[in-house]
Structure 1
Amino acid sequence: MSKLKTKSGAKKRFKLTGSGKVRVQYAYKRHNLRKRSQQMKRQSRGMNVLTRSDGNIVKKHYLPNA
């Protein structure tokens, strides 16, 4: 059986924490920010932790070697 490859798009979008959780950037922060509320832009700083079920999908299918 061939080696499992990590999806290169997933490498750029997801990071794993030390305990195995999946961190991801908040969405809707790239452009058209003038129409977003200041509260939304402020609360979307930094990174977010995915739910356990979504994180398991990401780790199994997109980051198998991580």
Structure 2
Amino acid sequence: MQKTRKSIAKRFKKTGTGKLLRRTPGHRHLLRNKSVKQRRRAGSSKLVADGQAADLKRAMPYA
């Protein structure tokens, strides 16, 4: 039986088409020092690069 890497499953979400979404870093604290553009872009989720996605999908087989 394959096991799910829980630390990875908590950080990434699989879309309907099988791609992976990740949160943008830098949106938790010290936001006053960041530009509006930085804050706006950090608010949305991004797709994981193809090179990294294969390893992450293998680590969470049932997600």
Coarse TM-score class (shorter-chain normalised) = 0.7 to 0.9
Give the Cα–Cα distance (whole angstroms) in 2 for the partners of residues 57 and 38 of structure 1.
34
How many residue pairs are counted as aligned between the two chains? Answer: 63
The corresponding residue for 2:11 is 13
Give the Cα–Cα distance (whole angstroms) in 1 for the partners of residues 3 and 34 of structure 2.
37
How many percent identity over aligned positions? 30
Which residue, out of 51, 60, 65, partners 2:62?
Answer: 65
Provide TM-score, normalisation by structure 2: 0.85
The Cα shift of 1:64 comes to: 2.3
Partner secondary structure for residue 16 of structure 2: coil
The corresponding residue for 2:54 is 56
Q: Which runs of 4+ in 1 moved over 2 A?
A: none
Q: Considering only aligned residues, what root-mean-square deviation do their CA atoms show, in Å? A: 1.2
Name stretches of at least 5 consecutive residues in structure 2 with no aligned partner. Answer: none
Which amino acid letter does the alignment assign opposite residue 54 of structure 1? Q
Name stretches of at least 5 consecutive residues in structure 1 with no aligned partner. Answer: none
Deviations 1:5-52 (A, max 9, x none): 111121211000111100011011111111111110011222100111
